[in-house]
Structure 1
Amino acid sequence: MKTSIFILVFLLFNTIGFSQEAEVKYDEALAKSLHADEYGMKKYVFCLLKSGSNTTISKEESKKLFEGHMANINKLAKEGKLVVAGPFMKNDRKYRGIYVFNVETVEEAKKLVETDPAIKANLLEA
């Protein structure tokens, strides 16, 4: 019984000790350099990609369009406009992947999405 109480008290003190948060300091210069708001929050635009309506395209054309898709991703990433891009595993909803854009508005993100050859050819839908 004493051992159980000792273990319980020991775990309680460890939990209390590790749950203490360190003081987080607001870095105004960093927030400004990232174009964050007055609270230090940075906006991003999330785009979900789904399978498109074009199902009659040849494998050769599809391969060429997806090469252009990857080149476009790399171009946008180098420009600092695309923070994250990646595929999803097979699923029932036909979700294919995501884009996370480093832009201020949905309209800006839509213009960037329109530069994707796979989306232009309706292989993917944003």
Structure 2
Amino acid sequence: MTKPIKKLLAPKTLLLIGVGYTILITIAFLFPKVTLPNTENVSIDKWIHFFIHLILILLWLSVYFSFYKHKNVLRSVGLVFVLCLGYGIIIEVLQEVLTQNRTADYYDILANVGGSILGTLFFIKTR
């Protein structure tokens, strides 16, 4: 009896982690900007964006596939990929519109795309 209960709770726990992570990074992206040092033409900020989106897409792909079992994996992965990229773009727009000391940055979006691509490829390869 406990095995079916554990099976039902696992996706919900993963969903809570995904929602919590998304809320956490949304708050972090909309808080006042912290000045980060630059290293060799690429600021640490871009690497942070890269890894945040790598984790974001891995987490949401895991959530999605824990709830839904689709035959067309590529289409499902594409849906999550587009939603995560849309989220990244919306956050950049909100930084421009809602905050006074942050601006939208195309390079942040490129870092988001890079992290999302690597995360997606890693998920597909390990799935």
With the length of structure 2 as denominator, give the TM-score of the two structures.
0.30
Rg larger for? 1
